[in-house]
Amino acid sequence: MKLGHCWSSTRVWAVPYSKIRPSPPPFGSRAFGFMENVDALLESGWCPSVVTMVLSGNRYAVLLGRNKPCKIFNHSQLRPSVEWSDGAWQTQEEKVKLFTVILLGEDALLVEESAARTPDPMPKAKETIMVLPFVRKSPCWQVLESVEILKSVPQHPHFSTLLKCKEALREGEAIRAVINFAMLIKEFFLMLEKYGFDITAPRAKIEKLLSIKESKTWALEELQVAERVMAEKDSKRRKLEDEIVELQRQEALLKEEKVTEDKEIARI
């Protein structure tokens, strides 16, 4: 609670209990992961953000909000994103888990604990080899697979119907289908909200997906421009190397001619 710039005199304030909360618990020195929700320390205070890139030297590229550029922060300037809810500090992941329990009941926790204790005799879906009708070349896949909302509803589409499309268009159609799936989940949450369900945490995950998609668009465009510049520079470098080799060959021939001329002059 901010009381002003004068601290010389002691003042007592009456504050409602609902406005009081303890300091967030220490989180240690653990590293943050890609697409993890964090709070970034700004001059105005802690700002909810998302890690978009893990850099060397305990530094991170962080997206501070939709349509805002990424900024570089040191590890000491970040903390896990937490919110004071129901008398306890909760992370975004804990809020999603709580939402699942509200929808499915306490059996959801029993199923989760049983799955953690009992080994699964069947291979996991992600370990199963699936031949897709296209080659995954777009960097958008890495972004989509890292979004928590899609992790919470895991899917393994076969995209076999894309065999009817032209090969050059199949990957784009597959990416569009994944985005449409995320949008469908968003519409479903809106329908649940009309009936009084709390969909704040799941909606935040979808909003993060959309904001990251927008921020990645310009980054991919800049990457393509940089790749073209690098290709041009590399082509110019190879051309210069060829010219150097040719000049060295000509220099060797001239040296041989000079030696021959020197021998003829010596005979005279």
Q: What is the mean pLDDT of residues 14-24?
A: 72
Asked if the structure places residue 26 within a domain, the reply is no
Backbone angles phi, psi at 55, to 5 degrees: -105, 175
Asked if the structure places residue 144 within a domain, the reply is no
Q: What is the mean pLDDT of residues 82-109?
A: 53
Contact 138, 175 (CB under 8 A): yes
Question: Which pLDDT score is estimated for 246?
Answer: 92
Q: What is the mean pLDDT of residues 219-234?
A: 82
Question: Which pLDDT score is estimated for 189?
Answer: 74
Question: Which pLDDT score is estimated for 116?
Answer: 40
Higher pLDDT, 155 or 163: 163
Asked if the structure places residue 134 within a domain, the reply is no
Higher pLDDT, 97 or 46: 46
Asked if the structure places residue 22 within a domain, the reply is no
Domain hosting 55: range is 31-80
Asked if the structure places residue 58 within a domain, the reply is yes
Higher pLDDT, 94 or 74: 74
Q: How many domains does the chain have?
A: 1
Percent pLDDT > 70 in the chain is 64
Of 7-16, 117-126, 173-182, 188-197, give the lowest mean pLDDT range. Answer: 117-126
Backbone angles phi, psi at 122, to 5 degrees: -90, 145
Asked if the structure places residue 47 within a domain, the reply is yes
* The dihedral sign for the CA sequence 43, 46, 47, 53: positive
Asked if the structure places residue 118 within a domain, the reply is no
Nearest alpha carbon to residue 213 among 79, 67, 103: 67
Cα(69)–Cα(75) distance, rounded to whole angstroms? 19
Asked if the structure places residue 149 within a domain, the reply is no
* pLDDT, tens digit, 9 for 90 and up, residues 103-159: 434 443 433 443 344 444 434 444 444 567 777 777 777 666 665 556 655 667 788
CATH of the domain at 62: 2.30.30.140
